[in-house]
Amino acid sequence: MIELTPLQQAAVAAGQRSFLLGPAGAGKSTALHQRLLRLLGDGEPAYTLLVLVAEPEHGQSFLDALHHSGLGPYADLEITTYSNMAREMVALFWPLVARPAGFAHAYQPPAFLSYDLAQLLMWEIVTPMLTEGAFARLRLRPQQIVSQLLDTLNRAALNGLTLEQATARQMSAWVGDPDHLRHLQDAATAARRFRRFCLDNSLLDLSLAVQVFDTQLVKHPEFHKYFSERYRHLIVDNVEEQTPAGQNFVANLMDATQTTAIAYDAGGGYKRFLAADPTGANQFYGRCEHVFEFEERLTSSPGLIHLSNLAENYLMNTKQPTVEAEQAILGTVNGRYRREMIGHLVEALLERLEEGLPPREIAIIAPYLDGALRYNLAHALKEAGIPYFFLRRRSSPREEPRIRAWLTWLALAHPQWEIYPAAYDVAEALSLSIAGLDPARAELATERLYDPQVPALRPVDDLPERIAQRAGRDRLTLVEDLRLWLEEQGGDRHPIDTFLHRLFNTLLAQRRFQPEPDLAGAAVCEWLVRTAGRLRQAARPMGLETPAAVGRAFINGIYQGLVTADPPELGDPPDPDGVMISTIYGYLLAGRPVEVQVWLETAATGWWDIPRQPLSNAFVLAQSWRPERPWTMEEDYKIRNQLLSRIVRGLAARCTGGVILATSDLDRRGVRQDGPLWRALQPVRER
């Protein structure tokens, strides 16, 4: 049984509309969990409750509280995010809103585009534009162009802006090279074509679902009637992470419920890159009959609060007490290079674990986790016997070798698609598909057996005996089996998701190919099958009329750098009780407090950086930004300092013990590191 403070008890019992304000770790979410349990315990049907969270993962804490309460299962309980509710409600009320929203065929049910599929469709639109010379001399990879175009569409919708307004804002705010205005015009053209294609073919990406929900449905009398007759109680957690569209939804419908409870994390708003509007969330303070101000932090210590003050004093030129900041620093780990830093860090963590600190009470937080850093961290922790898991939000699937390997076999099985894998890709695929076939022998076999002009593998019998002996006759037998299987199962005999499922489960998972269970291969197969299945179902509305068109879009999209928010779990299953490894924003949005945090690469400028998005400025597209205001270097500098200050305070609020600073003298490029966070912490580092 959780023991609540008097303030939490009052918040749980409050009727009408209540506003819970306070820093992270002050007990606001716990009060909301208990409010939900009280409503259910008092006999309120779960069907009448709506819990709105900022991130899908945040819903688990409400479910955990319910499960531990012993109240029983509640399948009708609605715990969702604003974007998911927008999609569901637009689908439910489609006949009511389709024609007013501009869809050409209101009678045609909508097809939903996940972020993965939206990228593939945008690729189809941008590729011919690039050929015609659009975005010339713009120093961005094509995948970055695609991602930023979708970001502009999404941010415009989530901020209540039309596409034209978003374009005008970005052009009027630009004060740099005048040639960049042409890039913004090209971006607007691509976005309009994407939007027009969606309206003509009843396709709903995130931006259209939100726009239709926000402008057509939220204030519609029929929807208002439906909402008020179904939902009697509304609970909103982390309203500061909601977008203006999400806040508009809450503001318009909070009067329709018997009770509304809203929690606001002071100092939050970490999703500003995703259109979160912490300033706009202040409106609910004055609209609620009950305001509960949570001032006492139940997690963070005075030393951590003073450490936050120290960083804020340096970054924002404030004068707050810092005398106890030194107590929050548990140690400093250094090394000239990354490898040395990681080695010393593992030694420091082992000392903590030997003192009795559970691994789950440690979080390693970095501004970025590139492939080399991920590998070195994982290898060092595994060697030391320290359990760990990566908290990942997005990834590029092409960086996983097995995904490239399975796509290589998909291309070779369908030569009519005219996709020609490089010899290196074929050799890598052979090495990963056949246990014991090392890269050198795989390269030798590929050199003799792969014809890149077809593309196809030649029969193994064509190999000279001396080459066959060097490559290994038993392994070459499996290469031949693979070649025959690709010929038999390819040629559009199966949809791509069926082909990929059969490739792994009926061939590559066999013991003769992999004597030990290939967990990473199974995870890759499952992700590819799921993603390919979604594409196949949406293919016709997306204009992909033939299996070849679907296959080419699928392979090329991943090869060109498609980013997924649903990456496959690779290797051994993650240990939820291990050390958490995460990027800054991933950790802040996860919200799980720990006893010890490691601030990795503390001297890196990555702590202070903001994403370079010349085609989609998140701050200019914010609803609170004045349209005529230019985006200057001063604004950029101020935003960076403000964000870093919030980051430090947010991390400190999610820490119960202290911080280990870990950094290397040189970054991965060999450049000496001395970033703003490192300089801000200099007084306590010197002591």
Examine residue 568 and state whether it is found in any structural domain, yes or no. Answer: no
Q: What does the alpha-carbon distance between residue 396 and residue 55 come to, in Å, rounded to a whole number?
A: 21
pLDDT of residue 374: 86
How do residues 324-369 score in pLDDT, each as one tens digit? 989 999 999 999 998 999 999 999 999 999 999 999 999 999 998 8
Residue 572 confidence class, pLDDT cut points 50, 70, 90: low
Does residue 268 sit in helix, strand or coil? coil
How do residues 284-315 score in pLDDT, each as one tens digit? 999 999 999 998 776 678 899 999 999 999 99
Average pLDDT, stretch 384-406? Answer: 87
How do residues 589-618 score in pLDDT, each as one tens digit? 887 899 999 999 999 999 999 888 999 999
pLDDT of residue 2: 78
How do residues 70-91 score in pLDDT, each as one tens digit? 887 777 899 999 999 999 999 9
Is residue 524 domain-shared with residue 489, that is, in the same domain? yes
**Residue type at 663 in one-letter notation:** T
- pLDDT at residue 465 above 90? no
pLDDT of residue 1: 61
pLDDT of residue 475: 87
Q: Which of 293, 326, 354 is the last residue of a domain?
A: 293
Examine residue 227 and state whether it is found in any structural domain, yes or no. Answer: yes
Examine residue 566 and state whether it is found in any structural domain, yes or no. Answer: no
pLDDT of residue 667: 82
Q: Which CATH number does the domain housing residue 337 bear?
A: 3.40.50.300
Is residue 81 domain-shared with residue 208, that is, in the same domain? no
Is residue 406 domain-shared with residue 481, that is, in the same domain? yes
Q: What does the alpha-carbon distance between residue 601 and residue 664 come to, in Å, rounded to a whole number?
A: 6
- pLDDT at residue 393 above 80? no
Give the pTM: 0.90
Is residue 407 domain-shared with residue 370, that is, in the same domain? no
How do residues 204-227 score in pLDDT, each as one tens digit? 999 999 999 999 999 899 999 999
Residues 6 or more apart from 347 whose CB is under 8 A from it? none
Pick the more confident residue, 575 or 340. Answer: 340
* Residues 589 and 643: beta-carbon distance below 8 Å: no
Is residue 47 domain-shared with residue 17, that is, in the same domain? yes
Residue 639 confidence class, pLDDT cut points 50, 70, 90: very high
Q: Which of 269, 293, 317 is the last residue of a domain?
A: 293
Q: What does the alpha-carbon distance between residue 294 and residue 26 come to, in Å, rounded to a whole number?
A: 6
Count up the domains in the chain and report the number.
4
Examine residue 186 and state whether it is found in any structural domain, yes or no. Answer: yes
- pLDDT at residue 676 above 70? yes
Is residue 358 domain-shared with residue 504, that is, in the same domain? no
* Residues 581 and 116: beta-carbon distance below 8 Å: no
Average pLDDT, stretch 564-587? Answer: 81
Examine residue 1 and state whether it is found in any structural domain, yes or no. Answer: no
Is residue 124 domain-shared with residue 182, that is, in the same domain? yes
pLDDT of residue 394: 74
Residue 269 confidence class, pLDDT cut points 50, 70, 90: confident
pLDDT of residue 369: 85
Residue in 566, 521, 594 with CA at minimum distance from that of residue 396: 566
Q: How far is CA 670 from CA 150, 337, 338, 440, 661, in A?
A: 34, 8, 10, 31, 20
Examine residue 427 and state whether it is found in any structural domain, yes or no. Answer: yes
Residue 684 confidence class, pLDDT cut points 50, 70, 90: confident
* Strands of the 579-583 sheet, one edge to the other: 329-335, 655-664, 594-600, 362-366, 579-583, 388-391
Average pLDDT, stretch 438-450? Answer: 90
Examine residue 595 and state whether it is found in any structural domain, yes or no. Answer: yes
Residues 6 or more apart from 341 whose CB is under 8 A from it? 333, 334, 335, 601, 662, 663, 664
Examine residue 482 and state whether it is found in any structural domain, yes or no. Answer: yes
Q: Where are the beta strands (DSSP E) in 361-454?
A: 362-366, 388-391, 450-451
Average pLDDT, stretch 86-98? Answer: 95
Is residue 532 domain-shared with residue 425, that is, in the same domain? yes
Taking the alpha carbons at both ends of the chain, their separation in whole angstroms is 43
Q: Which of 559, 589, 617 is the last residue of a domain?
A: 559
Is residue 229 domain-shared with residue 280, that is, in the same domain? yes
Q: In 10 A of CB 190, how many CB atoms?
A: 23
Boundaries of domain holding 229: 6-88+220-293
Average pLDDT, stretch 170-186? Answer: 93
Q: What does the alpha-carbon distance between residue 528 and residue 221 come to, in Å, rounded to a whole number?
A: 42
- pLDDT at residue 664 above 80? yes
Does residue 321 sit in helix, strand or coil? coil
Is residue 267 domain-shared with residue 307, that is, in the same domain? no
Residue in 104, 108, 105, 112 with CA at minimum distance from that of residue 87: 112
- pLDDT at residue 573 above 80? no
Q: Which tokens hold the place of 289?
A: 């009959």
pLDDT of residue 391: 84
* Residues 243 and 159: beta-carbon distance below 8 Å: yes
Is residue 463 domain-shared with residue 513, that is, in the same domain? yes
Is residue 538 domain-shared with residue 432, that is, in the same domain? yes
Average pLDDT, stretch 492-500? Answer: 93
> What percent of the chain shows pLDDT beyond 90?
72
pLDDT of residue 687: 67
Angle between the 401-412 and 519-538 helix axes, to the nearest 10 degrees?
60
- pLDDT at residue 494 above 80? yes
